[in-house]
Structure 1
Amino acid sequence: MTAPTEPAAVPAFGFRLIATDGMARRGEVTTAHGAIRTPAFMPVGTQATVKTMYPEQVRALGADILLGNTYHLMLRPTAERVDRLGGLHRFMNWPHPILTDSGGFQVMSLAKLRKLNEQAVTFQSHIDGSRHVLSPERSLEIQGLLGSDIQMQLDECVALPAERAEIERAMRLSLRWAERSKAAFFGKPGHGLFAIVQGGDDEALRVESARALTAIGFHGYAVGGLAVGEPQDVMLRILSATTPELPADRPRYLMGVGTPDDIVESVGRGIDMFDCVMPTRAGRHGQAFTRRGKVNLRNARHADDPRPIDEESTCPAARDYSRAYLHHLVKAEEALGAMLLTWINLSYYQDLMAGLRAAIEAGRFQDHKAAVKDGWARGDLPAL
């Protein structure tokens, strides 16, 4: 008789720094559902789906982790239902790491008739007008029901530009909510809680926020409230002031960023993790990201172009379909056009991250950054 197999032990949540090159870092995050190679780009699966993509496709492109959204999932299908159905990993057929945001940004940007006080934010659903209360404790409860590997504290994100007094008020509220979030976090093995540095475009407030959150102690640290309307130079200035204040032995996540150029520059300032809707949204609107920059397939000049998007790409959608065909699909509003272009874009983003990881390990980050930017500067691929 065969002895029963012991269940595999769940590894502790952790971060291992593998190599550095200047401020750029190559690392690995350990979670209950697998490892995350950093620098990492997390495709956004807002409502438990990366739009127009199968989970198996996303994994095959090299993604180690997806992002889910607390606000959307608490409203539909509800966290309680997802929990009854076995958790978010099983629900969306993604047995790999998942990060869920706290829902705070969406409450501020999408919800109707919201009211914020010290205890929580009360809002009406943008779907059916139903009333909900989201507190730091409730956000962590929802994320726990979803079963995500990385959970985020609830914070208040202020759109820029804003008055310093308003930025400081929101930063201090976010610090108090961070303390409550840590107290409410029920960490199962392999699951972690990230704090969120706030402070708008004020370097002193950012440094104060980072130091205070470090003193509280979290599994990782995110930089929030950027990519909300400020110029890139402001974002990079804030990162340069903030990341040196964060623990070197914990992962750093820049929320909602961004363009390939934003990512490359931010990696050079010590950021490990990124998410953004840009590659999927651009694909649904006829745009493709390539090693020579962005291509707009809506342009009439592609109508008779037999070339692929990039004959050297590792992605079949970029290599095996003509620009003329992709242009036709976009103009005809065929779903296949969005599917193929999203595939191309997510492939490009994952290839970009793989190249950055290899360059940092080899001590060639600055040379690789220059080569990537030179490719963008040269523009569209040469004509036949």
Structure 2
Amino acid sequence: MADLSDLLNIDAQFTDEELALRDRVREFVDRRFRPNIAKWYEYAVFPTEIIPEMAELGLLGMHLDGYGCAGRSATEYGIAMQELEAGDSGLRTFVSVQGSLAMSAIHKHGSEEQKQRLLPEMAAGRVVGCFGLTEPTAGSDPSGMLTRAERDGDGWVLNGSKRWIGLGTIAQIAIVWAMTDEGVRGFIVPTDAEGFSAKLLEPKLSMRASIQTELTFENVRLTEADRLPGAAGLKAPFQCLNEARYGIIWGAMGAARDSFEVAAAYTAQRQQFGKPLSAFQLTQEKLVNMALEIQKGQLLALHIGRMKDAGTLQHHMISVGKLNNCREAIAICRDARAMLGGNGILLEYSPLRHANNLESVRTYEGTDEVHTLILGEKLTGVSAFR
């Protein structure tokens, strides 16, 4: 059955296999996540018990080839991210950090030994990874990172800190980017290494059913075998970030679609002045505007996904999707909350939870301003960053 907001029959643009994947992920979210998300959000809990089920669905590193990964297309990955974020941004974030960041870093830049040892375990959910790039004083400008790795004999010594790192307190490995005398390099850091510590960042008003942490490294000793041999310079982590940003393009529309559906259902049954709210012109206008933006956002995500699969996607196009879809999704969620009146602040209803989460989603993996300037440089040929 097509989604209520699908005015253009976008479903017809997907293959039977893509629609079957969508339905499997949607069923998982409906069965395992929706009945509990209000409680998890209220008490700031990420349900680690569902990680094996996500692995069974092939969601962890699903767009990677080999090493126990599902080898799905970029479009299929995007479809799954949309369904996960319709449940909650924290659910999509887990899959993004694990697959698009930590696993992608190993898949793109690791040695064959590292890939063989870690990727099958991560795809199965037995090993969780995190991705340490952002620092307390280096967010949008990672070139200002202070974390350093110094050569020491045939190994390395790591010192510094990272902030806003998803999954840090439950991860067995951390992909850590550090400045060295040879430039930025990437390392696989066991989280049980002496001198490694992770603490939760709390309390939060957003992404409450998700894990964000601060990592600290105090003379953490690493071997040369812990370094990602193919990672040199900031281009390496940015390649992973683009994978995560791509997933957000789809995911944000999942949060928007869910908020729209809640508002549509609520206004159809809520009686005011002798008729349902959905019978009023202002309500219908709001629903129409929301549906139009969801459709445009989904078409944008699909177009970018097809180009990614075809190998024709350019770097700035990720910014088009991330900037537009996050911006429109948060507006849709806010409008949906308003249509619920006072009931909209209750966790029984999802729009305000989605809107709060999207405050984080539009900030991480590049703020609105960063993506605006990336596109500004594309249009003018002039960089405004420096």
Give the TM bin, normalised by the shorter chain.
under 0.3
As a proportion of its length, which structure holds more helix?
Answer: 2
Q: TM-score, normalised by structure 1?
A: 0.28
Q: TM-score, normalised by structure 2?
A: 0.27
